[in-house]
Structures are given as C-alpha cells and as structure tokens.
Amino acid sequence: MTTYSNKEIWHVTYPIFLGLIAQNVINVTDTAFLGHVSEVALGAAAMGGLLYICFYTVAFGFSVGSQILIARRNGEGNYRAVGPIMWQGSAFSLIMAVVLLRLMYFIAEPLIRLIVSSDAIFEATCEFYVWRMWGFLFAFLNVMFRALYIGITQTKVLTMSAVVMALVNLVFNYALVFGRLGMPEMGVRGAALASVISEASSLVFYLVYTYVKVDHRKYGLGRIPRFDGGMVLRILHISCFTMVQYFFSMGIWFVFFIALERLGQRQLAVANIVRSVYVVLLIPAQSLSTTANTLVSNLIGAGGVDHVMSLLGKIARMSFLIMIICAGLCALFPHAILSVYTNEAALLEESVSSLYVVCAAMLIASVANIYFNGISGTGNTQAALYLEVFVLVFYAVYIVVVGMVVQAPVSICFTTELVYYSLMLTISLIYLKKAKWQNKKI
C-alpha cells in the first residue's frame, strides 16, 4: 500500500477548500453588512454568532465521528455499510436539533445576559439569536451530508452546495439588513434570518443532488431504515469525544469575547472584524486538515498504517506553503482587506496590529491542524479530546490573565492564538511519535 500523491491529496482537498471559502462568505457577509450598520450590531453578531456556533459544533463533532467511520468503511471496500451510518447519524442529528431548539427557546435570553454586560449589545444579541437559532434544523443535517461526501472522497459537491448557500446568503443579507428588493428592513435580525435561509437552501441542494447523482445501491442509501439505537451508539463511541472537543474548542472563544466585551464596544468590534479575517485565513489549513482526517482513515482501512506519518508530513508541507502566501498578502495589504468590513478610519486602524498577530498564528496553525486532525483520523478521538483540553486550559488561563486581569489591548489578547497552536503542534507530534495508535479498531 503506497501513500497518496500530492495530486491525489489536492483532488480531495480543493473542493473542500472552495466549499469552505463559499461557506465562510456567510460569516464575512454578516460581518461586512453589519459593520456598516453600527458597532453594536457588530458586537451582537459576534456574541450571537458565537453562541450559535458553540452548539453547532456539537453536531459538527458528531458528523466528524460519522465521517471517520464512513471513510474507514470506504477504505475497506465495504461500501454498503456507508448508508446505514449516514441515515442513522442524520436521524440522531435531527433529534439533537429539535431538542436544542426547544431548550434555547427557554434559556437563550438568560444565557446571553450572563455573558454580555452591555445593555445595548445584550438587546441586539437577543434580537439576533432568536432568529439565528432556527438554523439548527438545517445545519445539523447539512454536516451529515458533508460527512458522507468527504468520507467517500467525493468532495466536489461540497463546493456546489456552499456556493448555493453563499449566494443565497448574500442576496438575503442585502435585502433584509437594509430593506432592499421589496423586503422589510430588519437590521441585525435580517442578517440572522438570511443565514437560516441560506442553510435551508444548502440542505435542499444536498437532498436533490444525493437523490439524482449518487449510486444508492452501492452505498446502501436506497431506503431510509428504522431508527437503530445500536448504530447510533457505535457512531457515538467514536464521535462523543469529538463532540466535546469541538464544543470546548469553540466555547473557549466565548472566554475571549467575554473578556473583550468588558473592555468596550470598540474593542469587541475590532475583535469581530479580525476574527472574520482569521476564519477566512484558516480555510486552507482547515480544508487540508479535513483531507488529512479522511485520508488517514481511508489509508488505515486499506492497510497502509505505516504510511500515515509520511502522508501527514506531505499534507503539512502543502498547508504551510499555501499559508505563507495567504498570510503574506494579508500582512502586505491589511487596509485593503479590513476595509471590506468598515469604512471608519479609526476602527480600521485599530484592527491592523491584531491582524498582524493573527497572520503569525496562522503559520503555526497551518501545520498544527494537520497533525492534530491526523490523530482523529486514526480513530483515537478520545486521545484528541484529552490533548485539546490540555491545550485549552493554557489558552483559558492566558486570556483571563491578559484580557480580564491586565486588560491588555486587543492585539495582545490575540497572542492567545500563538500559544494555542504552538502547544497543539507540540503535543500532536509527541503523541503521533510516541503513543500506540496504529492498531485502533473502529
């Protein structure tokens, strides 16, 4: 069994890459439109969006566990086992969405009050979130289709779905935030509703594409079976650790933004703008780390466990080279990039130094994400969770001291990312070289 070539790696990666670009247009679009409304609207989108993503990542973590199983069965040539994993995972995801939506109906407002001190931002965040949370019904199913197509390495559909979602989001943001195209002017509520509509459009696309294009017989997708608790438990055996890991990983952003929200509306606005750029900069590393995850699982399923480290090294080099270009362009032209989000000179100028810090962090992230996701690809999701928690403890202590105790400028607060990714890279390499992960059965 030989490892994957650069061409094969890129063949799997580039649709994920394009898909993530289109998908993140939602984040960029919301931030860009609301950046031209007010600093309060920007703060509301930051806090409300983070609260949404924290719970969304639980479903995303579940789908990653499903993806690992699908990839392993695909690598083994056991294609008919893919369908049951997909359908049972989708049923469980929908149940999670309904339960969470019901729970948020009662606890969203008091939860937001706990994390937001400003009355103006609190009211705007509640206004945003009561619309945004309806996206759970669609997003929780979308991630299962993403798991299916990445697991069987047919990733081009991700790009098409994300383009549909991005275009729908762009049109409805323009229409609903400012009251264009005969739509009501809804401000921050309009941005939230536009995101929900775009997620619904993505789900419709996935359903139609899967029905028309996929070989149902080959992958066991021909019929939707009855709910199988045993299958769900097998998926959860892999994904429960990933679910907790992703929740903690995203939840730590709350600590970051809570610290900055207490510094003031301007600091929160700066952080939201820079975070939006940060998320876009992460796309190459995220897409290649997703590829690393699924190719490692496929490779082990096909009997190529001895080639895992060389595969990860090859992907890490590709990721680092791409990130040098992206971070370099961002560092050279910061004002041009930041002007997408605001035309206020003072706000733009205050964001530049934070952007430089993020560019430096991304160089480390480009390699750290590859090796860390390689650990999950081996099926050792419990180990990945423990390693993530270890790193996040340092992250949390750092941001509490720097942001809340010292109350340092936003750019200094963003150095938490340097700490986070340096520790992640170090412990991932130690684990992959020293631990016994080669014989993990899933």
What digits encode the pLDDT tens for the residues 136-149?
Answer: 999 999 989 988 99
Could you tell me which residues come within 8 angstroms of residue 438 by beta carbon, excluding any fewer than 6 positions away? 305, 308, 378
- CB atoms < 10 A from the CB of 243, how many? 22
Give whole-number Cα distances, 415 to 11, 261, 379, in Å: 34, 17, 31
Burial class (CB within 10 angstroms; exposed 0-12, middle 13-18, buried 19+) of 198 = buried
pLDDT tens per residue across all 442 residues of the chain: 456 777 778 777 766 676 566 556 666 677 667 766 777 777 777 778 778 887 888 888 888 888 888 888 888 888 888 888 889 999 999 999 999 999 988 898 888 887 777 788 888 888 888 899 999 999 999 989 988 998 887 878 888 888 888 889 889 988 998 888 888 888 888 888 998 999 999 999 999 999 898 888 888 887 777 888 888 888 888 788 778 877 777 777 767 777 776 667 777 778 778 877 887 788 888 888 888 877 887 787 777 777 888 888 899 999 999 999 988 998 898 888 888 776 777 777 888 888 999 899 999 999 999 998 888 777 777 787 788 888 888 888 888 888 778 888 888 888 988 988 999 999 999 888 887 765 656 5
Angle between helices 283-301 and 265-281 (to 10 degrees): 40
Q: By C-alpha distance, which of 143, 136, 101, 122 is closest to 48? A: 122
Q: What are phi and psi of 254, to 5 degrees?
A: -60, -40
pLDDT at residue 144 in the model: 92
pLDDT at residue 168 in the model: 92
Q: Give me the amino acid identity at 413.
A: C
- Gyration radius from the chain CA atoms: 21
Q: Give me the amino acid identity at 28.
A: V
Give whole-number Cα distances, 62 to 183, 198, 242, in Å: 37, 22, 7
How far apart are the C-alpha atoms of 390 and 100, rounded to whole Å? 28
Q: Which two tokens stand for residue 382?
A: 């419990």
Q: Which two tokens stand for residue 390?
A: 């270890």
- Model confidence, pTM: 0.71
pLDDT at residue 216 in the model: 82
